[in-house]
Amino acid sequence: MKSNYFMGNGQFRIRDEEIPSIGAQEVLIRVAACGICGTDVHIFHGDQGSVDVHPPVVLGHEFSGVIEAVGPEVSRFKPGDHVTVDPNIYCGACPYCRKGKKQLCANLFAIGVNRNGGFAQYCAVPQNQCFLLAPDIPLRYGAMTEPLACCLHGIDRAHIVPGDTVLIIGCGAIGLLMLQLAKLQGASRIIVSEPVALRREIALKLGANLAVDPIHESLHDVVLNGLDGLEPDVIIECVGNTAAVRQAFETAGRGTNVLLFSVPVPGATHPLSLMDVYKKELTITGSMINPDTHSNAAALISAGKIRFDEIITHSYPLEKLHEAIMMQMSDASIKVIIEP
């Protein structure tokens, strides 16, 4: 089989190797599709992922495929099943796991980060990390389960209630997933802020009520005018740079819940008016990976509740992973996937 190893320093190398053997409680997955995540881009540039990366390693933690073989103690799956993979493996023993906060696990281990993942034709995965997909759902949709699961955790922490007005800053793949989930939560109005025209157009197709170009318009003024002087109940920041964070706090009103969802560049900071936090009674929340939400994400995808055709804009073969990462970094794409 072919695997594309990350060698460090922005370099990848294709290797021909044996199909991995599987343990008693593992399954062998023939990878159908693997998404390129912002975390992969961070790792490509030498930054840390959800956990430390030690090359050479096969990256790719957003993937789906078909089970080819199962270990002798596997009871939940059989060859031919279509599955998606939750890459995050928790220790279950650290204080965070024992307090029900396993997303903060002190010993987090992740498939496609520090264990070989989905940028390969086959991958061995513990059965407990697998979730069934409806067989009639395109497997490229299944590769979106992990980011959708992360978004579900973020939506839980944003505390959207029916009738809320939601502002989403950034309409990459994550922002467009958040938009759809906010609708499912009952948001009455959704405003998006996005400088790329193509992404604004897609956001409107997916149900946004208003799309703002923050480069040429004042986000604060447009939002207030669009809401007749009211302020958003919830703001979800999905960009990962300080300009977007600044826009979030500049637009936050009294009682706004601000969810900083995106993965920032390590060391990034933003000055914050403590008086604003006090007088506006702001709630500021972070969100880390996807504890116990992968099953719900797979269920939403299998039920056809989330649209992906507008989000998945490019696909590449395994051999062109470097080119695919360059495209993922481009404004010409929204979501790029590898199809090994």
The residues carrying an active-site annotation are 39, 42
Task: Evaluate the omega torsion of the peptide bond into residue 291 and state whether it is cis, within 30 degrees of 0.
Answer: no
Q: Is 320 exposed, middle or buried (0-12, 13-18, 19+ CB in 10 A)?
A: middle
226 membership: H or E segment, kind and range: helix 219-226
Structural tokens at position 252: 């936050």
The Cα–Cα gap between 82 and 69 comes to 12
Strands 210-212 and 88-89: unpaired
Q: Tokens 């637009």 appear where? A: 251
Backbone angles phi, psi at 55, to 5 degrees: -65, 155
Q: Taking Cα atoms as reference points, which of 336, 147, 145 lies closest to residue 238?
A: 147
Q: How far apart, in Å, are the Cα atoms of 301 and each of 103, 142, 217, 258, 292?
A: 22, 7, 35, 27, 16
Q: Are 148 and 306 in contact (CB under 8 A)?
A: yes
Return the structure tokens found at 297.
């994400």
Cα separation of 169 and 192, whole Å? 6
Residue 335 φ then ψ, to 5°: -125, 130
Q: Six-digit token pair at 71?
A: 């270990």
Q: How far apart are CA 230 and CA 220, in angstroms?
A: 11
